[in-house]
């Protein structure tokens, strides 16, 4: 995917390996383990006459988060890929909570559809108070999108990058908005950083954990640059780990994975209601008003892994994302 000589890449990668190796601290790992046991902080404020945009609200964390915001009076605009599920969701929310719920259909693995929905969101003439990037997938086998990009990278990361990028001006002009990216402790699987020379896993061996970790890491890196661009604008951007919770994630994978997940992994997981509680707190609580550029484990601020704090790579990811998305000319 680029023309950087192999020797330079090798040197660059080794340099980062030693840099990150030195930066890893046991205290951060212990903090993560401790934070994993904490409950989210609760926000009891209402959020009436506010608009919340959520991607992937038809299932799991997104679904419970939509219900949580609606139960406090917020109107919802969901970005989903499935019409029937979206209809059912919006009718349920309107019936139960008496708020407005609408949806836009977009397959967030397709650049064309990501652009279309981002442009539609940018054209809305009311403020978007909270924008939650939640849609995600976990694939044990590599898949390429119709644009020739690795699918997990696009759904989990590039879609949020493009939407944030195209909404920047609208959100800034509002003078007040919160972006929350549902990230993951899984970014730690990309322990030695992003393989910028091999984002499509053509040379390195693909695995579900590595592709997932890399996409989540890319999102955390993009947050560094977005956060800088949003300084003093009233727009905040944060990322969070939503807990280890029982959802439909991984259902696109084969029967062996699904059996293992159902019979072993799912039994250890919590309810996605805790994720929704945390996403509500991060989106609404006054304590979060000026907080930006942070990674939260539910509602506890936490230091991400060293590669997620690398500003030099953050700028590289930014540039590469503009190229991959074809945003150079904009
Ligand atoms: N569950 C956990 O323990 C956990 C832990 C850490 C992070 N997360 C993150 O939490 C987020 C939500 O995941 P979940 O666990 O709630 O999984 P989920 O139940 O599978 O929900 C995923 C949502 O994303 C949507 N989606 C998937 N691919 C899409 C695409 N190409 N275009 C548009 N929408 C798409 C799904 O739509 P359909 O309903 O049509 O399938 C669904 O609404 C993800 O970003 C995930 O990485 C989850």
Residue 241 confidence class, pLDDT cut points 50, 70, 90: very high
Strand partners, 181: 133, 239
pLDDT of amino acid 329: 55
pLDDT of amino acid 154: 98
Atom from ligand 1 closest to the CA of residue 156: 45
* Integer Rg of the chain from CA: 19
pLDDT of amino acid 330: 52
Residue 17 confidence class, pLDDT cut points 50, 70, 90: confident
Sheet harboring 101-105: ordered strands across? Answer: 101-105, 75-80, 51-55, 130-133, 177-182, 235-241, 295-297, 300-302
The pairing of beta strand 177-182 with beta strand 130-133: parallel
pLDDT tens-digit readout, 92-111: 999 999 999 999 999 999 99
Question: Residue 163 above 50 pLDDT?
Answer: yes
d(C-alpha 299, C-alpha 282), whole Å: 7
Report CA(135)–ligand 1 centroid distance (Å): 4
Cβ atoms of 160 and 53 closer than 8 Å: no
CATH of domain 41-244+272-325: 3.40.50.720
Question: Residue 74 above 50 pLDDT?
Answer: yes
Report CA(193)–ligand 1 centroid distance (Å): 23
The residue-averaged pLDDT of 261-276 equals 93
Which is the catalytic residue, given 63, 212, 257, 280? 212
Whole-model pTM: value is 0.95
Among 124, 139, 291, residue whose Cα is nearest residue 210: 139
d(C-alpha 50, C-alpha 121), whole Å: 15
pLDDT of amino acid 10: 46
Among 317, 298, 72, 312, residue whose Cα is nearest residue 217: 317
Question: Residue 9 above 60 pLDDT?
Answer: no
Among 238, 237, 235, residue whose Cα is nearest residue 174: 235
Residues having CB closer than 6 A to ligand 1 are 56, 58-62, 80-82, 85, 107-109, 134-137, 155-156, 182, 184, 186, 241-242, 244-245, 247-249
- Which residues does 243 contact at the CB level (< 8 Å), separation at least 6? 36, 40, 270, 272, 274, 275, 278, 298
pLDDT of amino acid 2: 40
Report CA(5)–ligand 1 centroid distance (Å): 37
Q: Is 103 a catalytic residue?
A: no
The number of residues making up the chain comes to 330
pLDDT tens-digit readout, 119-159: 999 999 999 999 999 999 999 999 999 999 999 999 999 99
Q: Tokens representing 108?
A: 């967030």
Pocket test for ligand 1, best of 213, 239, 249 (most atoms within 8 A of CB): 249
pLDDT tens-digit readout, 290-316: 999 999 999 999 999 999 999 999 999
Q: Whose CA is nearest to atom 38 of ligand 1?
A: 58
Question: Residue 83 above 60 pLDDT?
Answer: yes
Question: Residue 3 above 60 pLDDT?
Answer: no
Report CA(170)–ligand 1 centroid distance (Å): 26
The domain ranges of the chain are 41-244+272-325
pLDDT of amino acid 16: 86
Atom from ligand 1 closest to the CA of residue 82: 40
SS (H, E, C) 145-208: CCCCCEHHHHHHHHHHHHHHHHHHHHHHHHCCEEEEEECCHHHHHCCCCCCHHHCCCCCCCCCH
pLDDT of amino acid 5: 39
Strand partners, 80: 105
Report CA(249)–ligand 1 centroid distance (Å): 6
């Amino acid at each position: 995917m680029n023309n950087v000589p192999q020797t330079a890449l090798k040197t660059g990668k080794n340099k980062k390996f030693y840099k990150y190796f030195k930066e890893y601290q046991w205290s951060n790992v212990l903090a993560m383990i401790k934070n994993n046991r904490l409950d989210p902080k609760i926000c009891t404020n209402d959020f009436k006459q506010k608009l919340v945009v959520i991607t992937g609200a038809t299932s799991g964390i997104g679904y419970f988060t939509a219900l949580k915001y609606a139960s406090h009076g917020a109107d919802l605009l969901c970005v989903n890929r499935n019409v029937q599920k979206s209809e059912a969701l919006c009718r349920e929310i309107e019936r139960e909570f008496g708020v407005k719920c609408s949806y836009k259909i977009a397959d967030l693995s397709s650049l064309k559809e990501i652009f279309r929905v981002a442009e539609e969101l940018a054209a809305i003439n009311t403020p978007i108070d909270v924008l939650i990037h939640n849609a995600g997938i976990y694939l044990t086998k590599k898949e390429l999108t119709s644009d020739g990009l690795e699918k997990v990278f696009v759904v989990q990361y590039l879609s949020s990058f493009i939407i944030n990028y195209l909404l920047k001006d609208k959100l800034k002009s509002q003078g007040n908005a919160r972006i929350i990216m549902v990230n993951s402790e899984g970014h730690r699987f990309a322990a030695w950083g992003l393989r910028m020379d091999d984002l499509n896993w053509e040379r390195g061996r693909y695995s579900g954990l590595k592709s997932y970790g890399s996409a989540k890491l890319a999102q955390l890196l993009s947050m560094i640059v977005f956060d800088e661009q949003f300084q003093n604008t009233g727009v905040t951007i944060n990322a969070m780990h939503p807990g280890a919770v029982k959802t439909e994630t991984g259902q696109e994978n084969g029967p062996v994975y699904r059996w293992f997940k159902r019979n072993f992994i799912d039994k250890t997981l919590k309810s996605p209601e805790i994720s929704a509680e945390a996403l509500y707190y991060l989106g609404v609580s006054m304590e979060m008003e000026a907080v930006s550029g942070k990674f939260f484990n539910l509602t506890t601020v936490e230091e991400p892994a060293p590669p997620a704090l690398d500003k030099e790579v953050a700028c590289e990811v930014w540039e590469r994302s503009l190229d991959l998305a074809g945003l150079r000319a904009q």
